[in-house]
Amino acid sequence: MPSRAKCIKNIVSHTALLLTALTMLLPFLWMILASFKPLEEVEKLNPFPTVWHPENYVKVFEQIPFARYYFNSVFIAGWVTFLTCLTSSMAAFAFSRLQWRGRDTVFKLYLATMMIPGVVVMIPNYTLMVKLHLLDSYVGLIVPCAFSAFGTFLLRQFMLTIPPALDEAASIDGASPWRIFWDVILPLAQPGIVTLAIFTFIGNYASFFWPLILIKSEHLRTLPIGMLYFDSIYGRQTNLIMAASVMNIIPLVALFVIGQRYLVRGIQLGAVRG
């Protein structure tokens, strides 16, 4: 009898999860189907197009420099991800493996910056970019986003799970702190770094407000900014916007599929110690 009740409970829970997953996938399915429809059929109730129009994807490249927007988004997000992982891992190593006066106090103060909304620091950052003459440039888009208190916290928690005996053994063999960081800690922290890289790339790939206020030149526009101008200048071409959106999320889906094993492992191991 208990096994029968457990079986029924599993069926109900799996059915509920399946319905929830289908509900969440419904907007994505509509987006994909709408990208193959002519404009006059997008608002109709029929889910599938009467005639499929794959040329909608070609029209996106004909009307806007979509390939350039693609390159800008991937290039900027890639550099921000690399620099964030580098700076966060170095800071996390200092906060978790090195002993120095005031370490925990400085870490708490650094962590407190996570409570400051991004909108609050946007004007100071913009003023700084003006004074450094970095407006309308790749450097201005990359450098202010290359430091992350969340990334430092995530990697610090992960590095705390690595046995201190490894550091001691490397020190006895004559390894310097930099050697310990680069050859011992960093390879063992790979799941945490991949987790941070996925979060950082997704967040910066879809960044909107900072590129909107910093970029004026068309050749520097990222995908969110380019699609905004596409929607406003050429009118509401919903089918082409959906085609552009499908191509927009392809790198994110591919990144998640490739790194999901590291993502799950990194989150689990990083939550072991507080």
Model confidence at 206: pLDDT above 90: no
Residue 1's pLDDT band, with cuts at 50, 70 and 90, is very low
Please state, in angstroms and as integers, the Cα–Cα distance from residue 64 to each residue in 47, 61, 133, 243, following that order: 28, 6, 28, 13
- What does the pLDDT look like over 76-130, one tens digit per residue? 999 999 999 999 999 999 999 888 898 989 999 998 988 888 888 888 889 999 9
274: Cβ–Cβ under 8 A, 6 or more apart, which residues?
157
Please, are residues 81 and 144 in contact by the beta-carbon 8 Å criterion? no
Residue 122: CB atoms within 10 Å: 15
Which range among 1-15, 51-65, 126-140 shows the weakest confidence by mean pLDDT? Answer: 1-15
Please state, in angstroms and as integers, the Cα–Cα distance from residue 162 to each residue in 93, 114, 185, following that order: 11, 25, 8
Looking at residue 239, its amino acid is N
User: Can you name the CATH fold of 55-270?
Assistant: MetI-like fold (1.10.3720)
Which range among 105-119, 170-184, 228-242 shows the weakest confidence by mean pLDDT? Answer: 228-242
Please, are residues 77 and 201 in contact by the beta-carbon 8 Å criterion? yes
The domain locations on the chain are 55-270
75: Cβ–Cβ under 8 A, 6 or more apart, which residues?
138
Average of per-residue pLDDT values in the chain: 86
